[in-house]
Amino acid sequence: ELKVEQNPLFLSMQEGKNYTIYCNYSTTSDRLYWYRQDPGKSLESLFVLLSNGAVKQEGRLMASLDTKARLSTLHITAAVHDLSATYFCAVGSGGSNYKLTFGKGTLLTVNP
């Protein structure tokens, strides 16, 4: 059974600081996803990581994937309040990677 572990589950940061969210998964997969969810809202796709060593950046967020270590990271640079949200990593499995198994999510709060 595929297991996806995220940490930390709760993260309170000051604006301007840097931090990293970690996502470990238990079985081989070639697709790792990061989603953002604002309270009461849907999930927004942030990144899709397809191969070992993949790195993607969008604004203050950068995601990377190490398939050998079964580890993905989401790095936040110079946090701003607008980044406050819950961030989920998800791992694709099954034929055509239809099945997504989500981590528990990281509730990020960025304080002024």
Q: Which residues bind other proteins (CB under 8 A)?
A: 31, 33, 35, 41-45, 48, 88, 90, 92, 94, 96-105, 107
Nearest approach in angstroms of CB 65 to other proteins is 14
Cα angle for residues 70, 80, 75 (degrees, 5° grid): 15
Nearest approach in angstroms of CB 33 to other proteins is 6
Q: Which is nearer to other proteins, 80 or 105 (CB)?
A: 105
Nearest approach in angstroms of CB 78 to other proteins is 26
**Whether residue 8 has a cis bond before it, omega within 30° of 0:** yes
Rounded Cα gap, residues 1 and 74, in angstroms: 24
3-state class of 82 per DSSP? Answer: helix
